[in-house]
Amino acid sequence: MSIAKIKSNHSARTTFGSVIRKDGSRVIGGNAAPWIERDQLSQEQLRAVVSNATRKFMVSIDLNYRVKRAVRHVSISFPPGEDLDDQELSDYCEKYLAAMILSAENPELLRAFDPSTFRVAVEEFRANELHYYIYSIVRHTDKPHPHAHLVYSRINLETEKAIGTSFEWYRSQQILRDLERQYQLEVLPNSWEVGRRAQSISQLKKEAETGVISIQKQLQEILEQAGQASSTVPEFIEKAQAQGVSVRLNFTRTGKSKGISYELDGVALSGNSLGTRYSFKHSNPGLCNAFGLDYDAQRDNTVIQALCQRRPLHP
C-alpha cells in the first residue's frame, strides 16, 4: 500500500532545499540533481547542489509567470515491510509522475481504465515526454516506514503549459492503486470506497433535480482534500477553515477528544455522520487512521482549541 500527500509551493529553492537537507536523505531519481547522499556532502557542496537544482527548476518555472504555485511536492509513503530498493522506488515515483501528467492531459485514460493500455501509455510518456519536466526524487530514512519526496515543476519546457490539477487527489489514488498491483504491494482501497457515509436517496434525487450538491457531500469533498494535503491534525483544521468550514473539537478535562463537528453555510454535521474517516474520538481517531495525520495531545490540543475559535475563511 502507498499514500501520497500533495502540496503546492511557490519556491523551488525552499521546497527542494528542505527535502535534501534532511539527515540521511539521498537523491535517487530525476533530472534536477545527480544521485547523491546528503550525509556525504559538506555544507558547501550541499548548497551547490541546491543552487544548481534551483536554477534548473527556475528555467522551467520562468516560462509561465502566470502560474503562481508552479512547484509540486508529493510525499509517497509505504508501511514498514513494504520496502523498495532505490531503483524500484525511483521507478515507482517516476511512473506516478508520468501517470499524473498523462491523466491530466487525457482524463479518459482513467475514466475508461484498462490496466494494459494505461501502463503502455505511461511507459511511452516516460520515454518520450517526461524529460520536458524538471523533477527530483529524494528518499528519506528518518522514519521507520519507507518514503520518498517527489519535487517537480508543473511547467513543460517545450510547450510552456502547466500540468492541470483538476481532480488531482482522485487521479493520484487511482494511479497508486495500479502501481501497488504492478509492484505486488498490498492494495489500499480508495478513500471514497471506505469510511464515507453515502448520500441518501432523497439527497441524490434533489441533486439530480436541482443541480445543488448537498452540504454533506460538499463537506466530504472539502475534508477529503484537506486530509490528503495535511500532515497533522492542526494543519487539517486550517485547510478546512480556508475553504469556509467551521471546525469544533471538544475535549474532556483530561485532554481526551470527545468528538469533532463541521459546519458549512450554517449547517453543522458531526464527523461520524459524514463517515468514520472524518471522525476524531480518543478511542478511534478516524482522521488519523484514514489520512495518516500526526497527532500528539500534549503538543496539539492548545493549538487545536485556538484554531477552533477562529472564523473560517470564505474562498
Closest CA to 39 of 169, 139, 127: 139
Per-residue pLDDT reduced to its tens digit, 283-309: 778 888 888 899 988 899 999 999 998
CA 157 centroid distance within chain:
24
Closest CA to 256 of 291, 223, 195, 300: 300
CA-CA distance, 284 to 75, in Å (whole number)?
Answer: 25
Query: What whole-number percentage of the chain has pLDDT above 70?
Result: 95
Average confidence (pLDDT) over 182-186: 91
Work out the angle at residue 152's Cα, subtended by the Cα atoms of residues 242 and 77, and round it to the nearest 5 degrees.
75
pLDDT grade, residue 199 (50/70/90)? Answer: low
- pLDDT exceeds cutoff 70 at 216: yes
Average confidence (pLDDT) over 133-152: 93
Cβ partners under 8 Å of residue 90, min gap 6: 28, 29, 137, 148
The mean of the pLDDT values for the chain is 90
CB neighbours of residue 6 within 10 Å: 18
116: amino acid identity, one letter: S
Average confidence (pLDDT) over 64-87: 91
Identify the weakest region by mean pLDDT among 62-71, 198-207, 222-231. 198-207
Tell me what pLDDT residue 310 has.
82
- pLDDT exceeds cutoff 60 at 315: no
Per-residue pLDDT reduced to its tens digit, 241-253: 999 999 999 888 8
- pLDDT exceeds cutoff 80 at 201: no
CATH number of the domain at 3-188, out of 2.30.30, 1.10.150, 3.30.930, 3.40.630?
A: 3.30.930
Tell me what pLDDT residue 79 has.
82
Residue 118 in 3-state DSSP?
helix
Hey, where are the domains in the chain?
3-188, 196-308
Residue 263 DSSP label? E
From first CA to last CA, the distance across the chain in angstroms is 34
Tell me what pLDDT residue 94 has.
98
- pLDDT exceeds cutoff 80 at 59: yes
Closest CA to 248 of 314, 315, 313, 307: 307
Closest CA to 187 of 115, 138, 130, 236: 115
Closest CA to 260 of 291, 236, 244: 236
- pLDDT exceeds cutoff 70 at 151: yes
Tell me what pLDDT residue 194 has.
64
In 11-165, the DSSP E strands lie at 26-30, 71-77, 135-140, 147-153
Average confidence (pLDDT) over 4-17: 93
pLDDT grade, residue 260 (50/70/90)? Answer: very high
DSSP lists the bridge partners of residue 8 as 72
Closest CA to 155 of 171, 132, 176, 174: 132
Strand order in the sheet with 246-251: 246-251, 257-264, 267-270
Tell me what pLDDT residue 286 has.
85
Tell me what pLDDT residue 228 has.
87
Average confidence (pLDDT) over 258-267: 93
How many residues are recorded in the chain?
A: 315
- pLDDT exceeds cutoff 60 at 235: yes
Hunting for cell 497508486 — which residue is that? 176
Task: Quote the pTM value.
Answer: 0.67
Q: Report which of residues 280 and 208 the model is more confident about.
A: 280
Tell me what pLDDT residue 161 has.
96
Q: Quick one: cell of 243?
A: 475553504
- pLDDT exceeds cutoff 90 at 176: yes
